[in-house]
Copies of this chain bind each other. A is one copy, B any other.
């Protein structure tokens, strides 16, 4: 299988930690789903996608100072909460033959909008993220998002676990069209549906 040319680069000072592995904040539902997809990865049908926090990037000097003062480094948006279980907890699995990426997602209490409901922006973020990595792994190219459209069907509660199930619909030149559904783990509740268009960066 071809490896994508795009990577998340760890900062050189640090061993890259893989955040797409279980931690103590993961609920039973989250562990059940993770174990299920790990089992399906045994024969290579599915593949777990590692996830890192740090990216290498040029920022203005003033911003670099601000980060250093706060003992922080540049962090990927979906991994920018330091404490386990409070932000985006997720693990993604890719199925090459189906051109499909499933993200097991446990949103934390810092992702709220209305009291007791995950913010629409958090849902859009995990959906965009899932589709982005699906396109990257399918085409092995670096991608940017050209369009994202989300229909919200029912609220997601912090601490619950949902499956973001995304796949490549078609590719037209530099454009990759994808779609996704966000469902409860029992498949009984459709929380959101979305489509995305990615553009290869040449």
Contact = CB atoms under 8 A, between A and B. Distances in A.
A55 B108 CA distance: 14
A25 B60 CA distance: 13
B110 A124 contact: no
A190 interface: no
A66 B125 contact: no
A62 B127 CA distance: 26
A126 B121 contact: yes
Interface string A152-179: 1001001100000000000000000000
Contact of A63 (B62, B75, B109): B109
A185 interface: no
Interface in A59-88: 59-60, 62-63, 66-67, 70, 72, 74-78, 80-81, 83-87
Interface residues of A, number: 59
Contacts of A85: 63, 66
Closest 6 CB pairs of A and B: A121-B125, A77-B119, A57-B115, A120-B145, A124-B124, A149-B149
Interface of A: 9, 25, 55-60, 62-63, 66-67, 70, 72, 74-78, 80-81, 83-87, 108-117, 119-122, 124-126, 128-129, 132, 142, 144-152, 155, 158-159
